[in-house]
Structure 1
Amino acid sequence: MATRYELHDLGFLLTDSARLLRTAFERRIGEAGLGVTPGEARTLLNIHALKDARQLDIAARMGVEPMTVCSFLDKLQTQGLIERHPDPADRRAKRVTLTDASEPLIAKLKLEIADVLTDACTGLGEEDVDRLRHVLTTLSMNLQAAAAPDQADLS
């Protein structure tokens, strides 16, 4: 088992790597001339990952305030890239879906991400990347489980 110091160091490495990846992605999107800001691009990609999602779910996944997502969604809707529909389960909420017009842009965004990740993984073999994916998935699942309310008290 790793010592507290080694785990602390791991925390810094994870945080720095995530920050550097996000910065590289935002720089590439800004330079690519795709007609969207990095925040709008992240919003589109999160909608794509979630499929049909409520605005609050998109904000939570992105780790930003709902008003920030609302601003991004307004711009994306004006460009015809998304649609908002009433949520049948909650009339106060809106569900967000992609339009067909967003598909070419999402494909370009995925290419930009692939290039950033290729640069980031330079020097790593396929097995290293697979192991990294497994380790990060496990970390994510552990953190999600630790953040979830204790369901045992509800029974």
Structure 2
Amino acid sequence: MSLRPDPDALGFVLIDVARMLRSAFERRIVTAGLGLTPGEARTLVRIATLEGSRQLEIAQHMGIEPMTLSTYLDRLQSLGFIERRPDPADRRAKLIHTTPAAADIITSIRIEQIELMQLVTSGIGEEDLALMRERMKRLRANLAALEEDSAALALAKEAGR
């Protein structure tokens, strides 16, 4: 195994593809004239997939800071697309829900996502796409386990002090 960096190594390719995909999505959202920033569009779709989740959980899934999410939520709430409801288990926490007014804009965002992915996956067969999706889900699960292990190790070290 060579220690020389390989620009086509899996890690580099994944990072490049993720960066380019995000950039392409952002361009589509800006040019689609939806009246949302790309960050707001990503947030609204993520809320729809995590309906009724806490703000912190949504921020973690998106890989953004809670304060950044709060800014997006303020704007989406002002547009009538989401509502914050008290968490019955913790009065300090808020659960985030989409409103019926968000349905059309979520559909428009999803159309942009679907059309983009059709362009991006052009020339790749359905069977290969399904296999790629399964492998990516495995990578995601492995990375999540690493994060959990790191968090547990940090807690154990802290407790040992």
**Normalized against structure 2, the TM-score is what?**
0.87
CA distance in structure 2 between the partners assigned to 1:63 and 1:130 by the alignment: 25
Which amino acid counterpart does residue 102 of structure 2 have in structure 1? S
CA distance in structure 1 between the partners assigned to 2:45 and 2:145 by the alignment: 24
Structure 2 partner of 1:133: 133
CA distance in structure 2 between the partners assigned to 1:117 and 1:20 by the alignment: 12
Describe the superposition over 1:56-76 as per-residue Cα deviations: whole angstroms up to 9, x where unpaired. 111111111111110000000
Q: How far did residue 48 of structure 1 move?
A: 0.7
Q: How far did residue 6 of structure 1 move?
A: 6.9
Describe the superposition over 1:67-110 as per-residue Cα deviations: whole angstroms up to 9, x where unpaired. 11100000000000000011112222111100001011111111
Which amino acid counterpart does residue 97 of structure 2 have in structure 1? T
* Aligned ranges 1:63-142 → 2 under 5 Å: 63-142=63-142
SS class of match (1:148): helix
Describe the superposition over 1:111-134 as per-residue Cα deviations: whole angstroms up to 9, x where unpaired. 100011111101111111111101
CA distance in structure 2 between the partners assigned to 1:6 and 1:144 by the alignment: 25
Q: Which runs of 5+ in 1 are unaligned?
A: none
Runs of 4+ in 1 over 2 A off after TM superposition: 2-8
Structure 2 partner of 1:57: 57
CA distance in structure 2 between the partners assigned to 1:6 and 1:132 by the alignment: 21
Describe the superposition over 1:6-55 as per-residue Cα deviations: whole angstroms up to 9, x where unpaired. 79810000011011111010000000001111000000011011111111
Q: 1:77 to 1:138 in 2, by over 3 A?
A: same
**Normalized against structure 1, the TM-score is what?**
0.90
CA distance in structure 1 between the partners assigned to 2:68 and 2:90 by the alignment: 21
Do 2:7 and 2:13's aligned partners in 1 also have CA atoms closer than 8 Å?
A: no
Which amino acid counterpart does residue 42 of structure 2 have in structure 1? R
CA-based RMSD: 2.0
Structure 2 partner of 1:34: 34
Calculate percent identity across the aligned residue pairs.
Answer: 47
